Amino acid sequence: MKLRSIVPMRTAKIGYIVVSVCFLLAGIWMLCRPDAALEALDTFFGVALTVFGAVKLIGYFSRDLYRLAFQYDLEFGLLMVILGIVILFQPGLTMNLFCIASGICLILEALFKWRTAAEARAFGLETWWMTAALSVLSGAAGVLLIVRSGDAARALVLLMGAALIADAALNLCVALTMVKIVKNQLLDPEERRERRFERT
């Protein structure tokens, strides 16, 4: 029997964790040093969105055991990569536009993760409520970024730092509680058909 490679799943899980920890540390830095963070905002978010979008795409195609954590990451991963590249090649976006774009991303991710939490509950995972609660928190942070996008730049950096911490906590929770890696995982019937098709 053909076994599925665990490399993509492990790469996606480790990528989720590493990027989430980086977001968490960046959020703390933004709260502690808002003036310094303001100067590096374009570069940081451009790189961060591009890298995290790529990790999400890897996760989507990894076919982890539960099929919960990464199931909506194709569209959102592409969106993050595109937005990250735009920010990198078009620096100097106005702060309010930047906050609106970030808020929309947070709200979309919170909605996807809320749906994932609901499916995890039906699946029987006892930790589903953690993802649901953190989705509400992250979504609320996204709404605040949009509603308060006209505030002073320093205040917005502080708000963005808090939003990053909420989003990092959400993604860490998903990676740690919903991604199950099994070494001897068999290929699905669909994958076996694809492999046979590739050989013909």
Task: Concatenate the DSSP letters of all residues of 42-78 into one string.
Answer: HHHHHHHHHHHHHHHHHHHHH--SS--TTTTHHHHHH
Q: Alpha helix (H) ranges present in 63-152?
A: 73-89, 95-123, 128-147
Sign for the pseudo-dihedral over CA of 83, 166, 169, 135: negative
Q: What is the pLDDT, as a whole number, of residue 197?
A: 47
Question: What span, in angstroms and rounded, lies between the C-alpha atoms of 148 and 141?
Answer: 10
Residues with pLDDT less than 50, the chain: 1, 189, 191-192, 195, 197-198
15: left (phi over 0), alpha (psi -120 to 50) or beta: alpha
> Could you tell me what percent of the chain has a pLDDT over 70?
83
Q: What is the pLDDT, as a whole number, of residue 27?
A: 92
Question: What span, in angstroms and rounded, lies between the C-alpha atoms of 114 and 136?
Answer: 8
Residue with tokens 């013909």, as numbered in its chain: 200
Could you read off the pLDDT of 43-98 as tens digits, one per residue?
A: 888 888 899 889 888 888 876 656 677 777 888 889 889 988 888 887 666 677 77
Residue with tokens 């003036």, as numbered in its chain: 35
Rounded to the nearest integer, the mean pLDDT of the chain is 82
Query: Does the pTM exceed 0.85?
Result: no
Question: What span, in angstroms and rounded, lies between the C-alpha atoms of 154 and 14?
Answer: 33
The residue type at 122: A
